[in-house]
Amino acid sequence: GAVVSQHPSRVICKSGTSVKIECRSLDFQATTMFWYRQFPKQSLMLMATSNEGSKATYEQGVEKDKFLINHASLTLSTLTVTSAHPEDSSFYICSARPRRASGNTIYFGEGSWLTVV
């Protein structure tokens, strides 16, 4: 079946540095990718929608200069957390919609656990 890979699965970075998280669709082309974050015991919160060939659409309250999203190709989207702070520590997860999907089929990555120290 369709697979979405996220890397790294866990990362620890120092406060003030930047960290990049990759989301790859391994066996399909994705026209749309979604980025979410989840705090402990909370639900997923949509951060942005990334469409191939255009700029990402950010949800209200999400700083686009802090969370840089690049949909570089039909199989890769990256989320870069710039100048990370401890409050950015969270679980980040992406999902991808295949280019030729019928209906609303979507696949999820396994998530990336970011700890900022």
Partner 1 sequence: AQSVTQLDSQVPVFEEAPVELRCNYSSSVSVYLFWYVQYPNQGLQLLLKYLSGSTLVKGINGFEAEFNKSQTSFHLRKPSVHISDTAEYFCAVTTYSGGYQKVTFGTGTKLQVIP
Among the listed ranges 20-28, 67-75, 78-86, 107-115, the one in contact with partner 1 (CB under 8 A) is 107-115
Position among 95, 96, 98, 116 found at the interface with partner 1 (CB under 8 A): 95
101 binds partner 1 (CB under 8 A): no
Residue 80's contacts (CB-CB under 8 Å, 6 or more residues apart) are: 18, 19, 20, 21, 67, 68, 69, 70
- Quote the least distance from Cβ 47 to partner 1, whole Å: 9
Q: Select from 94, 41, 96 the least CA-distant residue to 67.
A: 94
* Single-letter amino acid, residue 99: R
Q: Based on the shown chain and the rule CB under 8 A, indicate whether residue 100 belongs to the binding site for partner 1.
A: no
What is the pattern of x (binds partner 1, CB under 8 A) and - over residues 39-78? -xx-xx-x--x---------x-------------------
Query: What is the C-alpha to C-alpha distance for residues 32 and 107, in angstroms, rounded to an integer?
Result: 11
Give the contacts of 87 (CB within 8 A, at least 6 positions apart). Answer: 116
38 binds partner 1 (CB under 8 A): yes
Contact residues for partner 1, defined by CB under 8 A = 10, 32, 34, 36, 38, 40-41, 43-44, 46, 49, 59, 91, 93, 95, 103-106, 108, 110-111, 113
